[in-house]
């Protein structure tokens, strides 16, 4: 699936790709980098900065089951956690709440409390958002966690790494200008647009995912 999406993006003449999903990073990023020459920036839970910032020496990670079960996450913890205790919490259903646009609903808050409370009760003073959906409910997470708890994600470091890679490869835009966004989906563009516009806080362009030349070729064999 990641290769098919990459093929579609390359047909749009992208100059770099961010794999903005922790699970896809763990499963597919090595294969993507082996296959394609374009700069590919991966994302991973912000365990390293969390370990540096915690005062209680206890860090909680909210993520999907697949991300927490992957070898890349285990290596990340063993490499960067040091003497910090890393508590993990899978969050079934939270991604679906974001994709429904139910960002501040009572059911979303109930899920956040269910998943966050065990980490807080064990002394976590730093919470890592280990899924790129979770920042959209970060207000609820911060409200449940309280002001003494630091909540962090990987967005800033990933953006800086993307800029560094573009600069390294001579791919930065010639002059500063405002960018635009186009979204593709394998679902209904109309239904997806309703949710994305809520997340993006403005109207967006959502298109059906095109079929790549590789997929077209495979379908005629």
Residues 6+ apart with CB under 8 A from 157: 46, 49
Instruction: Spell 110-122 as b/e; 16+ CB within 10 A means b.
Output: ebbeebbeebbee
Q: In the β-sheet with 58-63, what is the strand arrangement from edge to edge? A: 85-90, 58-63, 126-129, 150-152
Cite the beta strand spans of 106-192 per DSSP E: 126-129, 150-152, 182-185
Q: Decide if 203 contacts 190 (C-beta within 8 A).
A: no
End-to-end CA separation in angstroms for the chain? 19
How remote is the C-alpha of 109 from its chain's centroid?
20
> Is residue 131 annotated as part of the catalytic site, yes or no?
yes
Among 187, 221, 179, CA closest to 207: 187
Place of tokens 């807080």: 120
Strand partners of residue 58: 85
Q: Which of 8, 17, 19, 21 is catalytic?
A: 21
| Residue tagged active-site, from 18, 51, 128, 131 | 131
Active site residues: 21, 131
């Amino acid at each position: 699936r990641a290769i098919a999406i990459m093929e579609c993006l390359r047909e749009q003449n992208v100059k770099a790709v961010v794999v903005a999903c922790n699970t896809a990073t763990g499963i597919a990023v090595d294969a993507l980098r082996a296959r394609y020459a374009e700069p590919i920036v991966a994302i991973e839970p912000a365990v390293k900065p969390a370990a540096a910032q915690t005062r209680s020496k206890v860090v909680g990670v909210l993520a999907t089951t697949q991300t927490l079960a992957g070898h890349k996450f285990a290596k990340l913890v063993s490499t960067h956690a040091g003497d910090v205790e890393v508590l993990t919490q899978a969050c079934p259903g939270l991604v679906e709440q974001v994709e429904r646009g139910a960002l501040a609903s009572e059911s979303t808050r109930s899920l956040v409390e269910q998943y966050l409370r065990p980490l807080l009760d064990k002394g976590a003073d730093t919470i890592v958002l280990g899924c790129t959906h979770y920042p959209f409910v970060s207000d609820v997470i911060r409200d449940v966690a309280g002001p003494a708890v630091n909540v962090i994600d990987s967005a800033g470091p990933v953006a800086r790494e993307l800029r560094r890679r573009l600069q390294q490869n001579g791919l930065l835009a010639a002059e500063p200008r405002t960018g635009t966004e186009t979204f593709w989906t394998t679902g209904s563009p109309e239904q997806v647009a309703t949710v994305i516009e809520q997340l993006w806080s403005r109207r967006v362009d959502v298109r059906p995912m095109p079929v790549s030349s590789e997929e077209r070729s495979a379908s005629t064999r």
